Amino acid sequence: MNMLNITAAEIETFIFVFLRVGAIVVTIPIFGSTSAPARVKAGLSLMIALLIFPFVEMSPPPPEVLPLIVRMLGEVMIGIIIGFAGSLIFAGVQMAGQLVGFQMGFAIVNVFDPVTSSQVSILAQFQYLFAVLLFLALDGHHVYLSAVADSYRLVVPFEFSFSGELVRSIAGLAKDLFIIAVKVGAPAVAVLLMVDIGFGLIARTVPQMNILIVGFPVKIAMGLVGIGLALPLVSRMMGSIFIGFGDRLHELLRLM
């Protein structure tokens, strides 16, 4: 493409492509966090938009200002929904870490989470970082790149519609957040439950023992052991979720 002969229609096409791509980049996990520099987000959005927009066929935008703003918001909403869908998976992983941390007595041991700019459990942050590494190792970021390209094939510019089926699909993803949290945290929570039952029996048989003092270090140790033993199982489960995530994104795009 000759950069000196760019027409006004091509500039309009690039702007609309940049809106959708930029909304995806600023909302997806990893790049969507506040720890990622704004220049990196802007540069990545610009690069992807430059690669995609020559292949995008778009009808002329409406000349009126209000319909034009509505169409622009529609492009941004497409990107936000795509990024939000992936964020729900990592939110479920963090919730699992918070459940386990609460059972271990780590409810007040918090660290700063740069993704949400809030205080989260140290185990929730550990689970999140583990999920991010697994996501990158399985080339999960390629799913987003594929979704960006396929979005223009499945959702033509200016044709976004917020249907009831789309809302139900997003609600289903939100439901999966709690399912992921339970599956990831279940092994360690089960181990800690057995420890609590054991301490209950000891408290009844040996009332002279101070269970409160003895229980804290034992629960922490057993919780860490449970997390370590469950990592292979969690890795396989998260891997299957990340592999199937591409199909969920395509389902969302077909409903838009």
Q: How far apart are CA 120 and CA 109, in angstroms?
A: 8
**Which pLDDT belongs to residue 228?**
84
How confident is the model at residue 227, as a pLDDT?
A: 83
Identify the three-state secondary structure at position 249.
Answer: helix
Residue 88 sits at φ, ψ, to 5 deg, of -65, -35
Residue 20 pLDDT: 84
Of 120 and 24, the one with more pLDDT = 24
Mean pLDDT of the chain: 78
Predicted local distance difference test score (pLDDT) of residue 132: 84
Residue 83's domain spans which residues? 3-255
- Tokens of residue 123, six digits: 């185990």
For the chain, percent of residues with pLDDT exceeding 70: 88
pTM of this structure: 0.76
pLDDT digits (tens, 9 = 90+) for 22-66: 888 888 877 766 677 778 888 888 888 888 877 777 766 666 777
Identify the CA nearest to 136 among candidates 90, 182, 172.
90
Predicted pLDDT at 118: 62
Question: What pLDDT band is residue 188 in, cutting at 50, 70 and 90?
Answer: confident
Three-state DSSP class for residue 110: strand
Residues in the chain: 256
Residue 114 in this model has a pLDDT that exceeds 60: no
pLDDT tens column, 151-183: 777 777 777 777 778 888 888 888 888 888 888
Q: What is the largest CA-CA distance in the chain?
A: 88
Of the pLDDT bands very low, low, confident and very high (cuts 50, 70, 90), residue 116 is: low
pLDDT band at 113 (very low <50, low <70, confident <90, very high): low
Mean pLDDT calculated for residue range 225-244 = 83
Characterize 137-156 residue by residue with b for buried, 16 or more Cβ atoms within 10 angstroms of its Cβ, and e for exposed. ebebeebbeebbeebbebbe
- Name which of 35-44, 94-103, 188-197 the model is least confident about: 35-44
Number of independent structural domains in the chain: 1
pLDDT value for 117: 59
Please give the span between the terminal C-alpha atoms of the chain, in angstroms, as a whole number. Answer: 31
Contact 123, 97 (CB under 8 A): yes
